[in-house]
């Protein structure tokens, strides 16, 4: 039986990737749109979706925070976001109405987690975490093949880590200052050093603090008892492969032997790079559309 043709939309803070296909071996078209104002951006997305034909479902993976509660009047909205002008924007229900097909909706990082779970670095496990470290910092948790959400989706990029001894930088998050995103995201690294993460030397002292913060995030994820693998992607991780060894070493030191579950060691097989690269999110959006076909649309009858 052939896989369904799905339209996927990954709505990111700087760009939108629209993809038409059924999986990584069947991508029929991709269109990239700059993320500007909500009206301009979503009008452009609608134009792409109107031009395509034959797709059976739509999947949307959006930057957030987003509302995932089907009983909430704001279901499918971007809620309070640092992205200027985008707070309280209807994304999911709007695009579901325009296309008229079953529609799946989740956060961008949950979408990427599903993509890596189906086709990428977590395809051999049912429970994993996907950490994206780019312009922002987020975590998608997948348990039993399903993204984890409750009151909201996880916002683990905004937990406050124990600071590295002697480091008193105030951080770059407009909400929390020195949360994980404020310390270790690409935005934070540029704010602190004046240089993009990919252009910093591997021996730059800033990497010690970044690795320290990200290892604490991984420590916390291990202690949730959920992930059998932590997959790390996003622009900062892709552009700085030296960072993985630092995070892995600091994680082992931080756990101090407390967790001895099978699969945690060797640590190099537990904390791993994303395999799908920049396509994790768009392919995850396709997976959200596939799930909307089989499990029901996030927005009822479209």
At residue 123, does pLDDT exceed 60? yes
Q: State what percent of residues in the chain have pLDDT above 70.
A: 98
Give the 3-state DSSP-derived string for 45-85, with helices as H, strands as E and coil as C: HHHHHHHCCCCCEEEEEECCCECCCCCCCCCCEECCCCCCC
User: Which tokens belong to 178?
Assistant: 């020195």
Mean predicted confidence (pLDDT) in 263-286: 95
SS3 248: helix
Least confident segment among 103-112, 133-142, 144-153, 255-264: 144-153
- Please state, in angstroms and rounded to a whole number, the distance separating the CA atoms of residues 280 and 278: 6
In degrees rounded to 5, what are phi and psi of residue 235? -60, -35
pLDDT tens string 25-48: 999 999 999 999 999 999 999 999
- Range 57-69 average pLDDT: 93
Q: What pTM was estimated for this model as a whole?
A: 0.92
H and E: helices and strands count for the chain: 9, 12
pLDDT of 213 > 60? The answer is: yes
Q: Mean pLDDT across the stretch 117-121?
A: 97
210 pLDDT above the threshold of 80: yes
206-224 vs 186-193: helix crossing angle, rounded to 10: 160
**Looking at the predicted structure, is the pLDDT value of residue 301 above 60?**
no
Per-residue confidence band for 83, with pLDDT thresholds at 50, 70 and 90: confident
Predicted confidence band of residue 82 (pLDDT cuts 50, 70, 90): confident
Rounded Cα distance, 205 and 275, in Å? 28
What value does the mean pLDDT take over residues 52-76? 93
Band of residue 260 on the pLDDT scale cut at 50, 70, 90: confident
Q: pLDDT tens-digit profile of 216-237?
A: 999 999 999 999 999 999 989 9
- Tens digit of pLDDT for each residue in 124-158? 999 999 999 998 899 999 999 999 876 677 789 99
Q: How confident is the model at residue 300 (pLDDT cuts 50, 70, 90)?
A: low
Q: Kindly compute the dihedral angle of the four CA atoms of residues 232, 32, 87, 91, in this order, to the nearest 10 degrees.
A: -100
Q: C-alpha distances in angstroms, 128 versus 22, 149, 235? A: 23, 14, 20
Contacts of 140 (CB under 8 A, 6+ apart): 107, 109, 110, 111, 112, 113, 114, 129, 130, 132, 147, 153, 154
Check residue 302 and give its pLDDT.
45
Which contiguous run of DSSP H or E holds residue 210?
Answer: helix 206-224
């Amino acid at each position: 039986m052939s896989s369904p043709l799905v339209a996927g939309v990954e709505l990111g803070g700087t760009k939108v990737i629209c993809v038409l296909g059924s999986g990584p071996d069947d991508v029929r078209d991709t269109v990239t749109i700059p993320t500007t104002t909500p009206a301009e951006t979503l009008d452009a997305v609608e134009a792409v979706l109107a031009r395509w034909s034959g797709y059976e479902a739509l999947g949307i993976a959006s930057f957030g925070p987003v509302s995932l509660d089907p009983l909430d009047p704001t279901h499918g909205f971007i809620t309070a976001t640092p992205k200027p002008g985008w707070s309280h924007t209807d994304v999911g229900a709007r695009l579901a109405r325009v296309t008229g097909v079953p529609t799946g909706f989740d956060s961008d990082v949950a979408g990427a987690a599903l993509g890596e779970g189906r086709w990428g670095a977590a395809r051999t496990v049912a429970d994993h975490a996907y950490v994206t470290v780019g312009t922002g910092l987020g975590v998608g948790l997948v348990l039993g093949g399903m993204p984890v959400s409750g009151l909201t989706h996880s916002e683990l990029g905004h937990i406050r880590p124990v600071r590295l001894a002697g480091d008193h930088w105030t951080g770059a998050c407009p909400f929390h200052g020195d949360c994980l995103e404020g310390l270790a995201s690409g935005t934070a690294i540029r704010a602190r050093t004046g240089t993009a993460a990919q252009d910093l030397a591997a021996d730059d002292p800033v990497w010690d603090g970044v690795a320290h913060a990200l290892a604490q995030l991984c420590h916390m994820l291990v202690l949730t008892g959920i992930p059998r693998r932590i997959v790390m992607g996003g622009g900062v991780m892709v552009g700085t492969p030296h960072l993985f060894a630092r995070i892995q070493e600091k994680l082992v030191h931080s756990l101090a032997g407390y967790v001895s579950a099978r699969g945690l060691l060797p640590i190099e097989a537990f904390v791993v790079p994303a395999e799908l690269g920049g396509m994790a999110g768009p392919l995850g959006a396709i997976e959200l559309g596939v799930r909307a076909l089989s499990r029901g649309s996030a927005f009822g009858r479209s």
